[in-house]
Copies of this chain bind each other. A is one copy, B any other.
Amino acid sequence: MDTSAFVTSLATSFAIFIVLLFLYSWLSRTSSNFVIYYPLRISRGLGPPEDVKSRSPWAWLREAWQASEKEIIDLAGLDAAVYINFLDAVLQILGYSAFFCVPVLVPLAVTSDNYSTAVRAPTDPAFGGFDKLSMGNIAKKNKSRIWAFLIAAYWLSIVTYIVLWQKYKHIINVRDQVLSANARPEQFTVLVQNLPPPTNGTRSEQVDAFFRKLHPDAYEKCLVVTKLHKSSKLWTKLDSLKRKLKHAEAVFGQSKTKDKPEGIRPQHKTGFLGLVGAKVDTIDNSKEKIKDLSVKLQAEQKRTIAEEQEASAFAIFNNRAVAAEVSQSAIATIASKWRTSQAPEPEEIVWGNLSMPYLPQLFRKFGIYFLVFLIIIFYMIPISFVSALTSLDNLEKLVPFIKSIVKIKVLNTVLQAYLPQLALIIFLALLPSLLMFLSKLEGIVSHSHLVRATAGKYFYFNVVNVFLGVTISGTVFNALKKITKQPGQIVSLLDASLPPQASFFITYIALLYVFFVGYGLELSRLVPLIIFHIKKRFLCKTEEEIRDAWAPGPFNYHTHVPADMLIVTIAACYAVLAPMVLPFAIMYFALGWIIVRNQALKVYIPKYDSGGRMWPHMQARILAALVISQITMLGYFSVKKFVFSFLLFPLPIATLIFAYVCNKLFYTAFRVTPISLVSTDLKDMPSVASLVEAYTPTCLTPEDKFEDAEKFEDARSTATSRTSSGITSPA
């Protein structure tokens, strides 16, 4: 692709973005679309903005810009605020870097003439335009100009340290205020895992005996975790029957027209998928089945509480400070027993992982790390295998009827060309879910931790594959080159990995291909809008079903953050070597910043709030990107045979020390709850009953509480994990 093609592509995506922007301002004024554009405000009882019908097309921009951090935290929670702070930090780092690099380094490069005079010409002359703006155009003999780039390397590092240091302190402050002011149920609850078999008495007696002796005043009671497969199965069945009944009743109600005031009672067949079997009246049949199942569920609940107790429990205290102390203390001599930690927020508990035995879990973790390592390093192998398997010749043998399709010549050509790429694209699309699944197998007990673990793995996948490109030559690269026609990360991955001597600017394209269009789609929410309207028209009958159709999930941090981090890594690596990367990266993050603020304030409904525990991981990864960039620079300066390259040596070491110091000073407050935060007096303490209710899984809630609990659950769009295992309060 030459420079003109680059400009064309940029202009095209910008045009699409503008169209989507106008679509957004127009669509978001229609009241039938409010649930798509303001779902968070609606679910919080605020409704769309007051001037929604008459507002200027840019009102959303002003609102997103002006919203204070407090508003964001109140509406969207600390997690969203921290994500915005992350974008903010990146913007600051890149902005301050550009402040030095662009006006100083670019003129130095453009007035040099290495490429026109040196033996080694740029590999692809088409990129000459951008190439002249990079360090590659500085001749080796031009020492004084190289010094400016070395100073820039220091500038970039120091700017990063200062920004991250201030952000860390700021986020800790914000977190402190939120945590100390609000009494959250997890602050009163300690998760005790890996209890040894009780020597005498029941599990709950065992836990009670220990904590009551230790904290007679502060300890209230414990909830032993139970296996819930059976109750959860029954509960899900009952729940879907209830939904079916409501749906049928709604259909019956709508069928009562003026002409036919008695209506048509909906019927269905009882057999496989409702296709075969005897026809029955849906309403009567459902009511009958619900009555049956309720009885069964009650019996199962009793049985579970009595017989399915596992080796972990939630200990409930009436004092936040004592709970925090207990959650940080080693109890047994062998650390695999009586492990305590602060309980996760009730909504984000991964019930199935609460009672894993310690050592097997540890080994499982090693196994999964090893597997992820293999996936990161050798991910091409299974894909090649699958593409070989799905090559047309093999498919013909496996699925004979495909032969008739293959005979069509055009189709044949297309399939031959795209089948292998398809395998790769499917793999990359499934990767986050695969990593999430693997993280879950590790035995992590909270969803927010799962998200962090997945984001970490995905980040390593990105980074290793960026740098694999540098070391692995020819074959793999060529195999993948074909896919560059597909916009997507894989392009940026491989293009960024071209050695710095070649043109860096292919990376820009990677940056630009997607983000204008991507952000436009994110803002205009065209896809959810269309799906919602189709569902509403053809499928939804009850209020509940309509709500389910529009309710958006929370932010997908586990895909958003690694994607952003890849851009950060590329920008940091080339900020000094080819400073023109900076304006594009800044544009990417500036747009991201404003759109994420808008979506946080109006759209996404968080299921839980981890209290911004993503931040230390984001900070660590920005520093990892910085270390990679510093090592790259060290290498490239050496390529330039610059004798003072050794002056770059202290930089990676300084980054490691900075990371260590930040970790030592600040990370503890994210890992555990500092006592001073929770030793302040509270105005309204939650009652023990409310804590017990919070930590009782839905499928063990007594029938009479079902209806309320259900409504509540729906409002936060039920976490699927909530029904796979659970806890029981001993009578």
Contact = CB atoms under 8 A, between A and B. Distances in A.
Interface of A: 172, 176, 210, 213-214, 321, 324-326, 328-336, 338, 358-359, 362, 366, 657, 661, 664-669, 672-677, 679
Most buried by B among A172, A334, A366, A664: A334
Contacts of A679: 210, 213-214
A329 B331 contact: no
The A interface, classified by DSSP as helix, strand, loop or mixed, is helix
Contacts of A210: 676, 679
Contacts of A668: 330, 335
Contacts of A332: 674, 676
Contacts of A321: 214
Given A213-B679, A661-B359, A666-B335, A329 B330 contact: no
Contacts of A334: 172, 665-666, 669
Contacts of A331: 674-676
A325 B323 CA distance: 11
12 contacts: A214-B675, A214-B679, A325-B325, A328-B328, A328-B329, A328-B330, A330-B669, A330-B674, A333-B669, A333-B674, A335-B667, A338-B676
Given A210-B676, A325-B326, A328-B328, A664 B362 contact: yes
A661 B214 CA distance: 29
Nearest to A667: B335
Given A335-B666, A362-B664, A679-B213, A330 B657 contact: no
Nearest to A669: B333
Given A172-B333, A336-B665, 5 more contacts: A210-B676, A214-B679, A325-B326, A334-B669, A336-B664
A362 B657 CA distance: 10
The 6 closest A-B pairs by CB, nearest first: A335-B668, A333-B669, A325-B325, A330-B668, A330-B674, A331-B675
A676 B213 CA distance: 11
Contacts of A213: 679
A677 B333 CA distance: 7
A366 B657 contact: yes
Contacts of A677: 333
A673 B321 CA distance: 20
B362 A672 contact: no
A12 to B, nearest CB: 49
Nearest to A213: B679
Contacts of A359: 661, 665
A176 B337 CA distance: 15
